[in-house]
Amino acid sequence: MCGEYLQVCSNPCTRRRIKTRNGKGRLLWQSIHPFQDSRYTEGMKPADHLIVALDFPNRTQALDMVERLNGQIRWFKVGLELYLAEGLSIVEAIRARGHEVFLDLKLHDIPNTVAGAVRSAAASGAGLLTLHASGGPAMLAAARRAADELDYAPRLLAVTVLTSMDKHQLTATGIDASPASQVLLLGEMATAAGIDGLVCSPEEVGILRVSKAKDALLVVPGIRPADTTLADDQSRIATPGDAIRRGASMLVVGRPITKAADPAAAAAAILKEIETA
């Protein structure tokens, strides 16, 4: 991209429309994701790129972890375990402590039902919300329309192929493609339906960045620091530094932080690795 930036709108985690001058001095509007341009990422802090997954059975344990992380973390993820135990009030409790929430509900149903779920979830003030790309274009488009009709809506993320799945697991579901090919297919389909971002493994970030989905917010779980020997149930993994260098927008990290002997120190080490990547 050439030209000087004249006008920027929107907040740090959303796509921005910017007015630029091209090489001939002509003004043009351009839609760009902030994570893709060094002139934007310069202003961003490492904490804007890290989401800590609060996979806990109750509010007490989740909020205790928020406290233990000493204000280092901006984004927390509420997944099915915590949401089903506590409901949307846990999102409000985390937000009341000054944090942003990624509501990882992985919605997957008929279009009308998913549209209603988007409306209900939006009321919590969550900043990011997931739905399964495999729900198909009609379901994704219904979610997009529902979000667009609201005064406030989270950014919608389509989960492509779960990071726990390898080629063998994928074949068992009847899909005769590599995880990378399937992520590419679902990622391009979801962004064509107007979805803001994708959840993929670190292994697919590179191909997505040169695909039709290249502008998407890429939210990446399957992160394991180099000194961690445990992949747990994850199959497609990389270190925080590698994922960021390949073009990930935000990393999702759970157990390497929350099960560490010193979660604050584990989070600090990952933030440092993001900063230097």
- What residue numbers does the annotated binding site for substrate cover? 55, 77, 104-113, 163, 224, 234, 254-255
Catalytic residue among 106, 167, 214, 242: 106
Binding stretches for ligand LLZGTKA7 (CB under 6 A): 53, 55, 77, 79, 104, 159, 162-163, 199, 221, 232, 234, 252-256
What is the C-alpha separation between 257 and 44, in angstroms, rounded?
Answer: 22
Q: 238: which residues sit within 8 A by CB, 6+ positions away? A: 201, 202, 203, 222, 223, 224, 246
Nearer to ligand LLZGTKA7, 18 or 197 (CB): 197
Residue 233 · residue 262 · CB < 8 Å: no
Give min distance, CB of 193 to ligand LLZGTKA7, in A. 19
106 is catalytic: yes
232 is catalytic: no
Residue 78 · residue 102 · CB < 8 Å: yes
104 is catalytic: yes
Give min distance, CB of 216 to ligand LLZGTKA7, in A. 15
Nearer to ligand LLZGTKA7, 104 or 188 (CB): 104
Burial class from Cβ neighbours inside 10 Å (0-12, 13-18, 19+) for residue 178 reads middle
Give min distance, CB of 131 to ligand LLZGTKA7, in A. 12
Cα distances (angstroms) measured from residue 43 to each of 34, 39, 40: 10, 8, 6
For residue 103, report the phi and psi dihedrals to the nearest 5 degrees.
-95, 105
Nearer to ligand LLZGTKA7, 139 or 183 (CB): 183
Catalytic residue among 109, 167, 214, 242: 109
Give the distance, in angstroms, between the CA of residue 32 and the centroid of all CA atoms in the same chain.
17
Measured from each CB, the residue nearest to ligand LLZGTKA7 is 254
Q: How many C-alpha atoms does 136 have within 13 Å on its Cβ side?
A: 6
Give min distance, CB of 157 to ligand LLZGTKA7, in A. 9
Task: Specify the residue for token string 């960021």.
Answer: 244
Nearer to ligand LLZGTKA7, 36 or 235 (CB): 235
Active site positions, annotated: 104, 106, 109
